[in-house]
C-alpha cells in the first residue's frame, strides 16, 4: 500500500480506480520464479478470479481504501 500511496502523491491527476491484491496466498519457492506448472496455473487462476472481481469494484470503494491506508500511514 505504501507504493500505491506514493504513486497517488506523485501523480495527483491520475484516478486510481482499482486496487488489486491476491485474495488467496500465492505460491512461493526458495528460488525466485522457480515454481512448478501446477503452482503457476494456480497463481494464474487466482489472478483471473481477482481481475474479474475487480470489474465489479466501485470507484467509491477504492477511494475509501486509499483514504483508510493514508490515515493508517499517518497513524491517524
Domain chopping of the chain, boundaries: 2-25+32-73
Average pLDDT over residues 65-74: 77
pLDDT single digits (tens) 9-67: 899 898 877 677 788 998 887 776 788 999 999 999 999 998 888 777 655 676 777 77
Give the Cα separation of 64 and 33 in Å (integer): 34
pTM beyond 0.85, yes or no: no
Task: Find, among 70, 72, 71, the residue nearest to 9 by Cα.
Answer: 70
CB atoms under 10 Å from CB of 36, counted, come to: 10
Identify the pLDDT of residue 47. Answer: 92
Alpha helices by DSSP H, listed for 1-76, are 2-10, 37-55, 59-73
pLDDT of residue 57: 66
Q: Which three cell numbers stand for residue 12?
A: 495527483
Amino acid at each position: 500500500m505504501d507504493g500505491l500511496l506514493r504513486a497517488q502523491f506523485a501523480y495527483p491527476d491520475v484516478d486510481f480506480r482499482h486496487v488489486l491484491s491476491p485474495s488467496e496466498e500465492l505460491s512461493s519457492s526458495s528460488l525466485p520464479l522457480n515454481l512448478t506448472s501446477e503452482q503457476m496455473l494456480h497463481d494464474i487462476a487466482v489472478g483471473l478470479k481477482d481481475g474479474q472481481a475487480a470489474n465489479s469494484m466501485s470507484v467509491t470503494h477504492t477511494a475509501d481504501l486509499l483514504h483508510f491506508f493514508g490515515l493508517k500511514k499517518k497513524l491517524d
